[in-house]
């Protein structure tokens, strides 16, 4: 069955985006805590973030959208994997710095 | 590294890092609650204006969704809409009376919108500057943490504000940079704390935005809009979904 672009119900699309955003928020904070505990430094930390967040997005793609993301998003690949990559990094950096500082000053 | 490692006091994180974060989270929550309280209750519009915009909305819906009607029904509704749109039955005010209203800054409805915009802007800026001043004044002049990543020397002046050590590694930063990291990084935490309500509000706003607003200053006169709509309806080409539906059905399920 072909679903036309015009048949998207906007509030549902917005709600889906919020769910994705929620998942990504939690993921970036948790990744920040993890990399702080491992005390990753400079480029390693950023590589860890990109790998981790892409993995999370992949899981979201497979589990939450049941591999049929066109049902839930207008432009799924871009919206799930690329769009918020750099918006979410700020939360990651904050948790990373905080936990890193806590871990480092304790030892 | 061109300087030996600094040893940071253990107490720094309890008395500097965590208090700054906590203060920023609390101020953010307070701000969102205050904006919620300051939101003006939507005023009731006079019923004629509502009727006017609703009728226009109805005509638009007819224009966009006319394919679910049969030809007979379509013709009937088309004639009705053209006739009614061209008469002045649904006008909020008679067009020749309302010719002299121009945009004036003292118009009460305009003023209200401006006020609420100014309020929200102020609420954005005042707490931020206050916290920044507090951090700068209260925690000035010492290194509080080591960043896990290196920045270029260009950031030295900003991040090591108040520490006059020319050769210190840029990774050691003072409190103001922790403030900046928090400023950008607290967004996910806010959205986790108050995420649900925001989403609901967004959906509500979306539903409200579907109503066409006619009272803005730059809007063309209502009779122009109505005439336009009438012309649009006049040139509609009608194609009913019920035409040849039996053939299509049989074709599909054969």
**Sheet strands (E) in chain B:** 143-146, 172-174
Per residue in B123-172, pLDDT tens?
Answer: 778 888 888 888 888 888 788 888 888 777 777 777 777 777 777 778 88
Which residues are bridge partners to B28 per DSSP? none
| B74 part of contact set with chain A, CB < 8 Å | no
CB neighbour list of residue B28: distance below 8 Å, 6 or more residues apart: B127, B186, B190
Among B143, B239, B195, which residue's Cα sits nearest to residue A14? B195
CB contact under 8 A, A42 and B150: yes
Greatest mean pLDDT range, B59-68, B110-119, B148-157: B59-68
Per residue in B214-234, pLDDT tens?
Answer: 455 555 677 788 888 888 888
* DSSP 8-state class, residue B146: E
| A48 part of contact set with chain B, CB < 8 Å | no
In this prediction, residue A54 carries a pLDDT of 92
Per residue in B84-103, pLDDT tens?
Answer: 888 877 777 765 554 455 55
In this prediction, residue A31 carries a pLDDT of 94
Per residue in B74-85, pLDDT tens?
Answer: 888 888 888 888
* Alpha-carbon span A97 to B149, nearest angstrom: 9
Q: Which two tokens stand for residue B129?
A: 């500057």
Residues of A with CB below 8 A from B15's CB?
none
Q: Which two tokens stand for residue A6?
A: 């015009």
Q: Max CA-CA distance within chain B?
A: 89
ipTM: 0.81
Give the distance, in angstroms, between the CA of residue A29 and the centroid of all CA atoms in the same chain: 10
Q: Which two tokens stand for residue B155?
A: 């950031």
Confidence of residue B205 (pLDDT cuts 50, 70, 90): low
What mean pLDDT is predicted for residues A56-79?
A: 84
Q: Name the minimum distance, in Å, from the CA of A92 to any CA of chain B.
A: 7
Q: Given the structure tokens 């940079």, which residue do they identify? A: B177
Confidence of residue A52 (pLDDT cuts 50, 70, 90): very high
CB contact under 8 A, B184 and A45: no
| B25 part of contact set with chain A, CB < 8 Å | no
Per residue in A69-86, pLDDT tens?
Answer: 888 888 888 888 888 888
| A16 part of contact set with chain B, CB < 8 Å | no
Whether residue B179 contacts residue B131, with contact meaning beta carbons closer than 8 Å, is answered with: yes
């Amino acid at each position: 069955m072909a679903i036309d672009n015009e048949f998207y119900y906007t509030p549902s699309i917005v709600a889906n985006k919020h769910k994705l955003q929620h998942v990504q928020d939690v993921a970036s904070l948790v990744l920040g805590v993890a990399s702080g505990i491992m005390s990753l430094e400079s480029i390693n930390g950023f590589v860890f973030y990109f790998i981790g967040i892409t993995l999370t997005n992949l899981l979201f793609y497979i589990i939450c959208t049941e591999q049929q993301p066109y049902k839930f998003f207008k432009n799924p690949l871009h919206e799930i994997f690329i769009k918020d990559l750099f918006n979410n990094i700020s939360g990651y950096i904050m948790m990373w710095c905080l936990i890193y500082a806590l871990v480092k000053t304790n030892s | 590294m061109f300087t030996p490692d600094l040893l940071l006091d253990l107490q720094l994180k309890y008395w500097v890092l965590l208090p700054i974060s906590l203060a920023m989270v609390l101020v953010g929550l307070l701000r969102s609650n205050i904006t919620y309280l300051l939101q003006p209750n939507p005023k009731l519009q006079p019923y004629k204006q509502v009727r006017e915009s609703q009728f226009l909305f109805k005509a638009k819906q007819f224009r966009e969704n006319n394919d679910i009607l049969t030809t007979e029904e379509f013709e009937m509704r088309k004639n009705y809409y053209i006739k009614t749109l061209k008469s002045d039955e649904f006008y909020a005010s008679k067009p020749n009376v309302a010719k002299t209203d121009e945009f004036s800054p003292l118009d009460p409805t305009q003023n209200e919108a401006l006020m609420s915009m100014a309020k929200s802007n102020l609420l954005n800026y005042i707490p931020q500057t206050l916290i920044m001043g507090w951090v700068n004044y209260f925690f000035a002049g010492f290194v509080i943490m080591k960043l896990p990543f290196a920045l270029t020397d260009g950031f030295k002046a900003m991040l090591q504000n108040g520490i006059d050590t020319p050769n210190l590694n840029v990774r050691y930063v003072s409190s103001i940079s922790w403030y900046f990291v928090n400023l950008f990084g607290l967004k996910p935490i806010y959205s986790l704390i108050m995420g649900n309500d925001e989403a609901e509000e967004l959906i509500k706003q979306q539903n409200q935005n579907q109503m066409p607003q006619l009272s803005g200053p730059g809007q063309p006169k209502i009779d122009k809009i109505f005439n336009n709509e009438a012309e649009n309806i006049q040139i509609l080409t009608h194609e009913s979904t019920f035409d040849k539906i039996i053939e299509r059905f049989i074709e599909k399920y054969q």
